Amino acid sequence: MPSFYHETETVFGTHKNPIFQWIFTVDHKRIALLYMGVMFTLFFLAVSAAVTMRAELFFPGPQFLKPHTYNELFTFHGVTMIFLFIVPGIPAALGNFILPLMLGARDLSFPRLNLLSWWFYVIGVATAYSALMSGHGFADTGWTFYAPYSLRTDSHVLPTLVAAFILGISSILTGINFVVTIHRLRAPGMGFFKMPLFVWGLYSTAWIQVLATPVIGITLLLVILERTLNIGIFDPTKGGDPILYEHLFWIYSHPAVYLMILPGFGIVSEVLTTFTRRTIFGYHAIAISSASIAGIGYLVWGHHMLTSGISDMARIIFSLLTFLVAIPTGVKIFDWIATLYKGSIILATPMLWILGSIVNFTIGGLTGLTLAAIGADIHLHDTYFVVAHFHYTILGGVMFMFIGGLHYWYPKITGKIYDEVRGRIAFGLMFVGFNMLWFPMFIAGFLGNPRRYFDYLPTFTIYHQIAGVGAVLVASGLLTILYNFARGLKDGKEAGPNPWNATTLEWHISSPPPLENFSKIPYVDFDPYEYEHGEPVVHFDENFQRVVR
C-alpha cells in the first residue's frame, strides 16, 4: 500500500515538485515531519550554545567569551529552547502525527489551518534569527524580557519580541485545531473516557495554548509599542508598572511549562502500558489529573514573584496554590508505579527513557515544592537551584519523554526499526550525563551561586567542572540518538504495523500510514489499553470491523 511519503495533497491541489509537495502539504503527518525537521535543527543550535557556556564556565574567571556575549548566548539558548522548540514541541511534532491516528480520524479538523500554523512558525523562526544577522547582536534580556531593562537595552530585542508574538499565533492556531479535532473527530463510539491518555494530555495542552497564549501575545505587543512609541504602561518614569509586566508575563509563561509537560505525561502512559503489557492503573484519575494540572497551573504564576515585593497575603495564596499542583502530579506518578506493579516489564529503549524521565521528573517536581515555600525561595531565588529545578523538569522530564516518544513511534513514522543496542547506549550516556550536569547545580545554588552570571567564585569550581563533563556526555548521547535514527532509516529492518504489540488505533494501520490513515473508520467501543495474557484484545479485519476471537 502506498504510504503518505508517496502521495500527498497540497493546499493548491497537486504539485510535481517534491519540495512544493512538502511545504504546501495539508497532510497532518507531513506537517508533523516539517515541524520536526526545523525544531530539531534549532534544538541542536541551542544545545551548542549551552555547551559553549559550559566550556566558558569550566574554569572561574573570563576564558574566551565577553560578558555581553555570554548574556546573548543564554538569551539565545532560552529563546530558542522555549519559544522555538519546547512550546511547539511535543504537540506540533508528535501530536500532529499521532493525534488523528489515535482518534481514528483521517486528518485534523482544519488541515489548511495546520499548514498555516507551520508557516507562522517558520516566519517566527526567521524573524527571531534575523536579529543575529543585523549587526546589533541578539537580545541580552534573557528569555523573560523583563521590563524596564527590555525597554532600555540597545541590543536587538524587537525582532525577538515580534518573533515570540508570531509564534504565539502559530501556537493558538494549533491549539484551536486540536480542541476541535478532539471534540468532533473521535471515531464513532469513542467517548472522552475511551481516548488514549496521550490525547488527554494534548487536549489539556490545547486549552492552555488557547487561553494563556493571547495574554503573552498582547503583553509582548505592549513591550513592542513601548519600545517604538513610548506608551508608558510598563515604564516607571511615566507612571507605568514593571511588576505588572512580570505578572502578565508569568500568567502565560507558568501555564506554558504545564503546556510542555502534559503531552509528555501522555507519552509516559502510552509507553508504560505497552511495555508492561497491561492496562493503565487509574485511567480516569490520570485523565482528570491532566485537566486539573492545566486548571490549577493557570493560577500559580505569582510564585515566580515571591521576592518582587507583592503582598504577604498574595505570596501565601500563590504558595498554597503551587503546593496544590503537586497533588494531581503525585496522582499520576503513583498510578504509573502501580501500573508497573506485577506487569511484564520489557526494558526496551522507549521504556528506559520513560522510566528515566519519571526519576528525573520526581526530583524536579519535589525541588519545585522547595521553591514554592516562601522562606526557602527567598534564599534560593535567582540561584542555580532554580536553573537545576527547571532543567530537571524540562530536560530530564519533558525532553526524556519526548525522546522516549520518538523512539516509540519511530517505527510508525518511518516504517523501520532502529538499533536497540545503540538506543540503550544513548540512554545510558544521557541519563548519567544529565544527572552529572544538573545535580551539582542544586548544591551550587543552595550554597549561593547566582544564575545568569558569566563568572563565579573559585569555591564553586568543582560543581561547574562536574557539570561540564556531564554536558559532554549529554551532547554525545544526543548525537548517538541522531546517528541511530539516521542509520535506522537506511538499514533498519521493516517494522510492520505493530512492532511493540501495542493497543491504540495507530498500531492497527500500516507503518508508515497511508495518506488518509483509515480506509474505513473503525467503531470504538473498547478501552484504549486492553491486554489479556500479554496480548492485545482488540483486532480488526481489513475493513476495520472488529474481529471477535
List interacting residues with another protein (CB under 8 A).
105-111, 172, 175-177, 179-180, 183-185, 187-189, 210-215, 217-219, 222, 225, 229-233, 238-241, 244, 248, 520-523, 525, 544-546, 548
Cell of 32: 508533523
Min dist. Cβ of residue 100 to another protein (A) = 9
Cβ of residue 496: shortest distance to another protein, in angstroms?
25
Residue closer to another protein by CB (options 217, 468) is: 217
Q: How far is CA 18 from CA 10, 23, 38, 306, in A?
A: 11, 9, 17, 53
Buried b (16+ CB within 10 A) or exposed e, 54-93: bebbeeeeeeebeeeebbbbbbbbbbbbbbbbbbbbbbbb
- Residue 488 exposure: Cα atoms within 13 Å on the Cβ side: 24
Query: Which phi-psi region, left, alpha or beta, contains residue 135 (left: φ > 0; alpha: ψ -120 to 50)?
Result: left
Query: Between 214 and 282, whose beta carbon lies closer to another protein?
Result: 214
Nearer to another protein, 98 or 172 (CB): 172
Residue with cell 515571591: 306
Identify which of 189, 207, 5 has the alpha carbon closest to the alpha carbon of residue 97.
Answer: 5
The string of DSSP codes covering 168-225 is: HHHHHHHHHHHHHHHHH-SPTT--GGGS-HHHHHHHHHHHHHHHHHHHHHHHHHHHHH
Return the number of the residue (62 or 188) whose C-beta is nearest another protein.
188
How near is the Cβ of 186 to another protein at its closest, in Å? 9
CB-wise, 491 or 542, nearer to another protein?
542
d(CA 132, CA 149): 20
Which residues are within 8 A (CB) of 225 and not within 5 positions of it... i.e. 6 or more apart? 231
- Smallest separation (angstroms) from another protein to the CB of 324: 23
Distance set, CA 441 to CA 447, 462, 474 (Å): 10, 10, 16
Nearest to 255 by CA among 296, 223, 297, 284: 297
Question: Please, which residue, 87 or 444, has the CB nearer to another protein?
Answer: 87
Contact by Cβ (8 Å): 506, 536: no
Closest CA to 520 of 548, 546, 549, 499: 546
Question: Minimum distance from CB of 14 to another protein (Å)?
Answer: 17
Q: How far is the CB of 300 from another protein (least distance, A)?
A: 18
Task: List % helix, strand, coil for the chain (3-state, nearest 5).
Answer: 70, 5, 30
The answer to whether residues 93 and 35 touch, using CB atoms and an 8 Å cutoff, is yes
Q: Which is nearer to another protein, 63 or 230 (CB)?
A: 230
Q: Which of 449, 429, 430, 453 is nearest to 441 (CA)?
A: 449
Q: Which residue lies nearer to another protein by CB, 249 or 463?
A: 249
Nearer to another protein, 63 or 519 (CB): 519
Shortest separation between residue 289's beta carbon and another protein, angstroms:
23
Q: How far is the CB of 22 from another protein (least distance, A)?
A: 21
Nearer of residues 401 and 524 to another protein, judged by Cβ:
524
**Least separation in angstroms between CB 236 and another protein:** 10
**Looking at beta carbons only, is 300 or 495 nearer to another protein?**
300
Phi, psi of 290 (to 5 degrees): -60, -50
Cβ contacts of 453 within 8 Å, gap of 6 or more: none
Shortest distance, position 172 Cβ to another protein, whole Å: 5
Shortest CB 77 distance to another protein, Å: 28
| Runs of H (alpha helix) within 394-419 | 400-414
